[in-house]
Amino acid sequence: MIDLQQVSFHEATIRGLSKVAQDAELELDDVLVEGKRASANVKVFSVSSISVDGIPSSVLAMEADDGEVLTLDTSGEGFFLIAEWNDFAKGKSTTKSYHVVGRSMVLTVT
């Protein structure tokens, strides 16, 4: 079992952010676990609420092809994410926050 105090999500690459049916999923690369790079997957089951920048939403999706975690806090019911999205083709960058709550949350690190 991994000690979450030994896991750093800061600057991890966001590979996927989506909601399919009633579940939400956050897929990450470049997570640091005890100083070594790993991948992580956060799944929230039976989502009851999603807010983007504090506004209720039914959509959970990547804002650009390149995303980076600034902050990620997980709990037994969901996660709070602050992400920076980079659209290199348009030369634009934006920061958004996401709060996803459901019945339960599972974090897998590989």
| Residue 55 confidence class, pLDDT cut points 50, 70, 90 | very high
Distance (Å, rounded) from C-alpha 90 to C-alpha 97?
Answer: 21
Distance (Å, rounded) from C-alpha 26 to C-alpha 67?
Answer: 11
Q: pTM of the predicted model, to two decimals?
A: 0.93
The string of pLDDT tens digits covering residues 62-100 is 999 999 999 999 988 999 999 999 998 899 999 999 999
The string of pLDDT tens digits covering residues 9-39 is 999 999 999 999 999 999 999 999 988 999 9
Q: Is the pLDDT of residue 7 over 80?
A: yes
Structure tokens, 21? 């049916």
